[in-house]
Amino acid sequence: MSDFALILVSTILVNNFVLVQFLGLCPFMGVSNKLETAMGMGLATTFVLTLSSLCSYLAFNYLLQPLGLEYLQTITFILVIAFVVQFTEMVVRKTSPVLYRVLGIFLPLITTNCAVLGVALLNIKKQNGFMESILYGFGAAVGFSMVLILFSAMRERIAVADVPTPFKGSAIGMITAGLMSLAFMGFTGLVNI
Partner 1 sequence: MLSIVLTAVVALLGLALVFGILLGFAAVRFKVEGNPIVDQIDSLLPQTQCGQCGHPGCRPYAEGIAAGEAINKCPPGGEVTIQALADLLDVEAPSLDAEHGEEKPKTVAVIREDECIGCTKCIQACPIDAILGSAKHMHTVIASECTGCDLCVEPCPVDCIDMVPVDKGLAAWHWEAPKPLNIIATDSASYHGADAV
Partner 2 sequence: MTPNDIIATCSVDIFDFHGGIHPEEHKTDSNQQPIRVLGLPPKLILPLKQHIGTASKLHVEVGQTVLKGQKIAEADGPFSVALHAPTSGEIIAIDDQLIAHPSGQTDHCISLIPDGEDTWCELHPCENYHQLSASAIQHKVSDAGIAGMGGAGFPTAIKIAPPNLSNIDTLILNAAECEPYITSDDRLLQERASDVVAGLEILMQVLGASRCLIGIEDNKPEAILSLEKVLDGKTIQLCVIPTKYPSGGEKQLIKILTNKEVPSGRIPADIGIVCQNVATVAAIYRAVRFGEPLISRITTLTGEQIPKRGNVEVLIGTPIDWMLEQVNYQPAKIERLIMGGPMMGFTLPHSSVTVVKTTNCILAPSPKELPLAPPAQACIRCGLCAEVCPAELLPQQLYWFSRAEEYEKAEHHNLFDCIECGACSYVCPSSIPLVQYYRHSKGEIKQQRENQLKSDQARERFKARQQRLDREQAEKAAKRLERIEAAAKAKADKLAQTDNKTNLDEGSASTTVIQENTDSVKSEHKLAKENVNIAELILSWEKAQIKPDVMFDSSDETDGGKS
Q: Residues in the site for partner 2, rule: CB under 8 A?
A: 157, 159-162
Partner from partner 1, partner 2, none contacting 76, C-beta within 5 to 8 A by type:
partner 1
**Could you give the 3-state DSSP secondary structure of residue 101?**
helix
Spatial contact of 66 and 106, defined as CB atoms under 8 Å apart:
no
By CB under 8 A, tell whether 58 contacts partner 1.
no
Is residue 67 a contact residue for partner 1 (CB under 8 A)? yes
Under the binding rule (CB under 8 A), the answer on residue 38 touching partner 1 is: no
In angstroms, the CA 128 to CA 153 distance is: 34
Q: How far is the CB of 163 from partner 2 (least distance, A)?
A: 12
Closer by beta carbon to partner 2, 95 or else 162:
162
User: How long, in residues, is the chain?
Assistant: 193
> Binds 179, which of partner 2, partner 1, none (CB < 5 to 8 A, cut-off by type)?
none
Q: Is the dihedral of CA 144, 150, 156, 158 positive or negative?
A: negative
